[in-house]
């Protein structure tokens, strides 16, 4: 075993690895499948009966968020029922920890597998509940589809 | 700033003092071999390092202060971002510290302990794989980087299956394993990975390679006494021949019930730290196999403590949401709201909980004033302390050895600067 045998056997190993089956996914032509629990963009469930927002405006997600992503404005009807006037989700601040999804007491916030979320404009990332419901229903579509080219 | 003597920030004063024979080289903060944004003011005499002064803080995000301004469960999300190469190990350290502060260590179910150990050991594997890849890349073994990250992808896939995230896992919760348990088949996938994981490629390409040995053997030697006095922990300490591993010395989770060895080096050089880490990879797969077997036996048992002050009720009990209104359990709903709004309030006092992270002794120190927000949180990050020995290690060595030395300390700047 003279000097250099280790180098040569290493080189042979490197060359032999070149003949192994590649593990690369050719993104975006064939995207890698994501796990069932994949934490993509936070989505919103649409109420099955009314077709509207299923959020009850309790504000627990606002509290649970460590990064001030969510802002909910609510108002009350004359009968004292609270309803959500505006649900705002700043995706640019979201760290995808999913504490809000865990905190939601009515399962309104949902996990989606959506991860095509890029945009050149930061202001676009401030989402409304409608955007979140749309992404829950079509998680494989890019969030900003008009920017997406094949 | 770490160093023998403080130097002027910016280095201009140093440059003026340099003579014809001596020069000051500014290594980093944007240099691929500094593993992040580490800046080292290197004083050279010819090509020999006379003094090196690491300048840190470029990645400071105030993690400790952020944790001090939020509820205990919020702090979890930031621990992912300290040592991001092995996020679950950080998560485990954080929750163990909070549980110790709350005094509920005894209530944690067995199964949660084993799931935590599997995740922490997977974190060790992924952390060491990042290290071996980048360390090899620094010293010219480019192909090593590709093979290490190929293996790490498998670990990331396992994270993704159980936590949903590939990097910032944020998985376990105080009181157990969180709302989501291990998904069906996950333990099989983990075992499959542990069985198939091999270091053949790494050994053939690096361990027995003469060029690798020339670059690493006898470089940056630190004796056992010096390593202890510099406060080194983890593989850096064990590389010098000190048998100190918190998993054996002060067992946490269920490390006292699994069988494994602590690899210890002899020479205290870059090569022996390299060998220690390689052997740790083997030992981690061995621990994982035992934990998987144990977790299988405990399948079906709860993974969360039966402590309504800390663990929120099952969401099914809370959210029976139907068009007619909330049909869930009212008490469960109140409990759920109380925990998510107020968090949990540990009694007044302080606690220090250290775990053996891939880099060394990772500890969280909490001071509680009895409210839901920690009064003080300090993270004893192993990378920061280990980096303190860099000036000693590189002094008198060649400049090219600096790259090997930084690689062998295995720092993550997210953890150094926090």
Within 8 A of A81 by CB-CB distance, chain B residues are none
Within 8 A of A13 by CB-CB distance, chain B residues are 201, 204-205
> Which residue does chain A place closest to B70, by CA atoms?
A66
Q: Once rounded to an integer, what is the mean pLDDT over residues B324-348?
A: 80
Q: Are A5 and B197 a contacting pair, CB within 8 Å?
A: no
Query: B321 and A13: CB-CB below 8 Å?
Result: no
User: In this predicted structure, what is the pLDDT of residue B367?
Assistant: 93
C-alpha angle B135-B137-B143 in degrees, rounded to nearest 5:
120
Give the distance from residue B183's alpha carbon to the nearest chain A alpha carbon, in angstroms. 9
A–B interface: beta-carbon pairs under 8 A? 100
In the sheet where B349-357 sits, what is the strand order?
A: B349-357, B360-368, B376-380
Q: Are B322 and B162 a contacting pair, CB within 8 Å?
A: no
What ipTM is given for this predicted complex? 0.83
Q: Once rounded to an integer, what is the mean pLDDT over residues B380-406?
A: 88
User: In this predicted structure, what is the pLDDT of residue A109?
Assistant: 87
Q: Is the pLDDT of residue A147 over 70?
A: yes
User: In this predicted structure, what is the pLDDT of residue B183?
Assistant: 83
A87: DSSP letter? E
Q: Is the pLDDT of residue B364 over 70?
A: yes
State whether the Cα torsion B254-B359-B289-B259 is positive or negative: negative
Rounded to whole angstroms, the Cα distance separating A1 from A4 reads 8
User: In this predicted structure, what is the pLDDT of residue B6?
Assistant: 47
Q: Residue B281 half-sphere exposure, CB side, CA atoms within 13 Å?
A: 26
pLDDT in tens, B65-105: 989 998 988 888 888 888 888 888 899 999 999 999 988 88
Within 8 A of B61 by CB-CB distance, chain A residues are none
Q: Provide the CATH number for the domain formed by A39-147 in this structure.
A: 3.30.70.3270
Give the distance from residue B243's alpha carbon to the nearest chain A alpha carbon, in angstroms. 30
Query: B323 and A7: CB-CB below 8 Å?
Result: no
Domain ranges of chain B: 63-309+344-417
Q: Provide the CATH number for the domain formed by B63-309+344-417 in this structure.
A: 1.10.645.10
Q: For residue B410, count CB atoms less than 10 angstroms from its CB and return exposed for 0-12, middle for 13-18, buried for 19 or more.
A: buried
> Which residue does chain B place closest to A105, by CA atoms?
B319
User: In this predicted structure, what is the pLDDT of residue B13?
Assistant: 46
Query: A13 and B208: CB-CB below 8 Å?
Result: no
Cut 0.95: pTM above it: no
Find the chain A residues whose C-beta atoms sit closer than 8 A to any C-beta of B. 3-7, 9-10, 13-14, 17, 23, 34-39, 47-50, 54, 58, 60, 63-64, 66-67, 95-99, 102-107, 111
Residue B96 preceded by cis peptide, ω within 30: no
User: In this predicted structure, what is the pLDDT of residue A150?
Assistant: 59
Residue B268 preceded by cis peptide, ω within 30: no
Within 8 A of A34 by CB-CB distance, chain B residues are 160
SS3 string, B366-411, reads EEECCCCCCCEEEEECHHHHHHCCHHHHHCCCEHHHHHHHHHHHCC
In terms of Cα–Cα distance, which of B114, B97, B124 is closest to B182? B114
Exposure string for B138-170, b = 16+ CB within 10 A, e = fewer: bbebebbbebbbbbbebbbebbbbbbbbbebbb
Rounded to whole angstroms, the Cα distance separating B408 from B268 reads 11
Within 8 A of B318 by CB-CB distance, chain A residues are 105
Q: Give the DSSP per-residue string, B111-156.
A: HHHHHHHHHHHHHHHHHHHHHHHHHHHHTT-HHHHHHHHHHHHHHH
Query: A37 and B163: CB-CB below 8 Å?
Result: yes
Interface test with A, best of B84, B150, B159, B164 (most A CBs within 10 A): B164
How far, in Å, are A58, B243, B289, B399 from residue B396 at the CA level?
64, 28, 44, 9
Rounded to whole angstroms, the Cα distance separating A117 from A142 reads 6
Rounded to whole angstroms, the Cα distance separating A88 from A72 reads 6
pLDDT in tens, A38-94: 888 888 888 777 777 888 888 888 898 988 899 888 888 888 778 888 888 998 888
Strands B376-380 and A42-44: unpaired
pLDDT in tens, B152-181: 988 999 988 888 888 888 888 888 887 777
Query: A6 and B161: CB-CB below 8 Å?
Result: no
Exposure string for B258-294, b = 16+ CB within 10 A, e = fewer: bebebbbbebbbbbbbbbbbbbbbebbbbbbbbbbeb
Within 8 A of A38 by CB-CB distance, chain B residues are 160, 164
3-class SS of residue B232: coil
Name the residue facing B323 among A17, A49, A66 (closest C-beta): A49
Interface test with A, best of B153, B206, B340 (most A CBs within 10 A): B340
Rounded to whole angstroms, the Cα distance separating B230 from B385 reads 8
Measured in whole angstroms, the distance separating CA B298 from the mean position of its chain's CA atoms is: 27
In terms of Cα–Cα distance, which of A65, A56, A107 is closest to A85? A56
User: In residues, how long is chain A?
Assistant: 150
Q: Are B365 and B68 a contacting pair, CB within 8 Å?
A: no
Q: Are B273 and B411 a contacting pair, CB within 8 Å?
A: no
Rounded to whole angstroms, the Cα distance separating B298 from B374 reads 34
Q: Is the pLDDT of residue B236 over 80?
A: yes
Residue B198 has which token pair? 């091999």
Whose tokens are 């390409």? That residue is: B205
Within 8 A of B319 by CB-CB distance, chain A residues are 104-107
Residue A20 has which token pair? 């192994």
> Which residue does chain B place closest to A45, by CA atoms?
B321
């Amino acid at each position: 075993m003279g000097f250099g045998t280790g180098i040569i056997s290493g080189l042979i190993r490197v060359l032999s690895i070149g003949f192994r089956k590649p593990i690369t996914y050719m993104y975006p032509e064939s995207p890698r499948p994501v796990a069932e629990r994949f934490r993509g963009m936070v989505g919103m469930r649409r109420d099955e009966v009314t077709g509207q927002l299923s959020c009850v405006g309790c504000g627990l997600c606002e509290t649970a968020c460590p990064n001030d992503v969510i802002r909910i404005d609510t108002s009350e009807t004359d009968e004292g029922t609270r309803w959500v006037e505006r649900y705002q989700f700043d995706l640019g601040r979201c760290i995808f920890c999913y504490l809000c999804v865990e905190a939601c007491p009515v399962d309104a916030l949902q996990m989606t597998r959506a991860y095509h979320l890029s945009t050149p404009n930061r202001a676009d990332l401030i989402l409304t509940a409608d955007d979140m419901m749309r992404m829950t229903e079509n998680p494989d579509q890019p969030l900003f589809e008009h920017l997406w080219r094949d | 700033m770490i160093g023998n003597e403080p130097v002027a920030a910016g280095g201009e004063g140093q440059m003026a003092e340099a003579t014809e024979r001596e020069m000051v080289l500014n290594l980093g903060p944007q240099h691929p071999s500094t593993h992040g944004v580490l800046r080292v003011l290197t004083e050279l005499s010819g090509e020999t390092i006379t003094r090196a002064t690491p300048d840190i803080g470029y990645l400071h995000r105030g993690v400790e202060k952020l944790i001090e301004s939020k509820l205990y469960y919020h702090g979890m999300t930031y621990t992912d971002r300290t040592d991001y190469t092995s996020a679950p190990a950080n998560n485990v350290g954080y929750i163990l510290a909070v549980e110790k502060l709350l005094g509920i260590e005894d209530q944690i179910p067995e199964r949660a302990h084993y799931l935590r150990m599997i995740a922490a050991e997977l974190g060790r594997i992924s952390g060491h794989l990042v290290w071996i890849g980048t360390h090899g890349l620094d010293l010219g073994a480019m192909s090593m980087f590709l093979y290490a990250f190929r293996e790490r992808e498998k670990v990331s896939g396992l994270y993704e299956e159980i936590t949903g995230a590939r990097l910032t896992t944020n998985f376990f919760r105080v009181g157990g394993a969180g709302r989501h348990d291990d998904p069906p088949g996950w333990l099989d996938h983990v075992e499959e990975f542990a069985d198939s994981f091999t270091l053949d490629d790494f050994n053939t390409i690096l361990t027995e390679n003469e060029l690798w040995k020339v670059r690493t053997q006898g470089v940056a030697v630190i004796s056992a006494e010096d390593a202890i006095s510099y406060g080194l922990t983890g593989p850096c300490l064990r590389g010098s021949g000190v048998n100190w591993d918190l998993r054996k010395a002060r067992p946490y989770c269920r490390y006292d019930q699994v069988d494994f060895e602590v690899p210890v080096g002899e020479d205290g050089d870059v090569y022996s730290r390299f060998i220690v880490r390689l052997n740790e990879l083997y030992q981690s797969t061995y621990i994982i196999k035992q934990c998987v077997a144990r977790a299988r036996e405990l399948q079906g048992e709860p993974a969360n403590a039966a402590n309504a002050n800390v663990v929120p009720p099952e969401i099914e009990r809370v959210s029976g949401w139907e068009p007619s209104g909330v049909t869930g359990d009212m008490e469960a709903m109140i409990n759920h709201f109380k925990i998510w709004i107020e968090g949990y309030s540990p009694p007044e006092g302080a606690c220090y909980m250290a775990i053996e992270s891939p880099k060394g002794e990772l500890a969280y120190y909490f001071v509680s004033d009895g409210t839901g927000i920690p009064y003080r949180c300090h993270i004893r990050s192993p990378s920061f302390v280990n980096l303190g020995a860099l000036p000693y290690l590189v002094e008198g060595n060649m400049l090219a050895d600096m790259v090997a030395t930084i690689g062998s300390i295995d720092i993550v700047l997210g953890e150094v600067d926090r």
